[in-house]
Amino acid sequence: MKNDLFLRALKGETVDRPPVWMMRQAGRYLPEFMEIKAKYDFFTRCQTPELASEITVQPIRRYGMDAAILFSDILVIPQAMNIEVQMKPNFGPYLPNPVRTSKDVNNAIVPDVKEALDYVYQAIKATKEKLNDEIPLIGFAGSPWTILCYCVQGQGSKNFDKAKAFCFTNPVAAHQMLQKITDTTIAYLKEKVKAGVNAVQVFDSWGGMLSPTDYQEFSWQYINQIIEALKDDAPVIAFGKGCWFALGEMAKSGASALGVDWTCSPKNARYLTGGNITLQGNFDPSRLLSPPETIKKMVHQMIDEFGKDKYIVNLGHGILPNIPLENAKAFIDAVKEYNM
Q: Residues comprising the binding site for substrate?
A: 24-28, 43, 73, 150, 205, 317
165/180 Cα distance (integer angstroms): 19
Which residue is closest to ligand CP3 by CB?
205
Q: How far is the CB of 308 from ligand CP3 (least distance, A)?
A: 24
Q: Which residues are annotated as a binding site?
A: 24-28, 43, 73, 150, 205, 317
151/315 Cα distance (integer angstroms): 27
Shorter beta-carbon distance to ligand CP3: residue 25 or 270: 25
Q: How far is the CB of 14 from ligand CP3 (least distance, A)?
A: 28
Cβ(238)–Cβ(258) under 8 Å?
Answer: yes
Cβ(143)–Cβ(78) under 8 Å?
Answer: no
Q: How far is the CB of 138 from ligand CP3 (least distance, A)?
A: 8
Cβ(192)–Cβ(203) under 8 Å?
Answer: no
Q: How far is the CB of 81 from ligand CP3 (least distance, A)?
A: 15
Q: Cα separations (Å) of 248 from 111, 241, 268?
A: 34, 15, 11
H-only helix segments in the chain: 5-11, 31-39, 42-47, 49-63, 76-80, 102-107, 113-116, 118-131, 144-153, 161-169, 171-195, 212-214, 221-230, 247-251, 266-273, 292-306, 325-337
Shorter beta-carbon distance to ligand CP3: residue 59 or 111: 59
Q: How far is the CB of 243 from ligand CP3 (least distance, A)?
A: 12
Shorter beta-carbon distance to ligand CP3: residue 95 or 113: 95
Q: How far is the CB of 37 from ligand CP3 (least distance, A)?
A: 5
Shorter beta-carbon distance to ligand CP3: residue 95 or 229: 95
Q: What is the edge-to-edge ordering of all strands in the sheet holding 137-142? A: 68-69, 137-142, 199-204, 236-240, 257-259, 278-283, 311-315
239/90 Cα distance (integer angstroms): 26
Q: Cα separations (Å) of 195 from 85, 127, 253?
A: 25, 10, 25
Q: How far is the CB of 216 from ligand CP3 (least distance, A)?
A: 21
Q: How far is the CB of 203 from ligand CP3 (least distance, A)?
A: 4
The residues binding ligand CP3 (CB under 6 A) are: 23-27, 37, 42, 69, 71, 73-75, 87, 92-93, 140, 142, 156, 203, 205, 318
Shorter beta-carbon distance to ligand CP3: residue 149 or 270: 149
Centroid of chain to Cα 182: 16
188, burial (CB in 10 Å: exposed 0-12, middle 13-18, buried 19+): buried
Shorter beta-carbon distance to ligand CP3: residue 77 or 105: 77
Cβ(313)–Cβ(266) under 8 Å?
Answer: no
Cβ(320)–Cβ(288) under 8 Å?
Answer: yes
Q: Which residues pair with 137 in a beta bridge?
A: 68
Shorter beta-carbon distance to ligand CP3: residue 23 or 335: 23
Shorter beta-carbon distance to ligand CP3: residue 91 or 168: 91
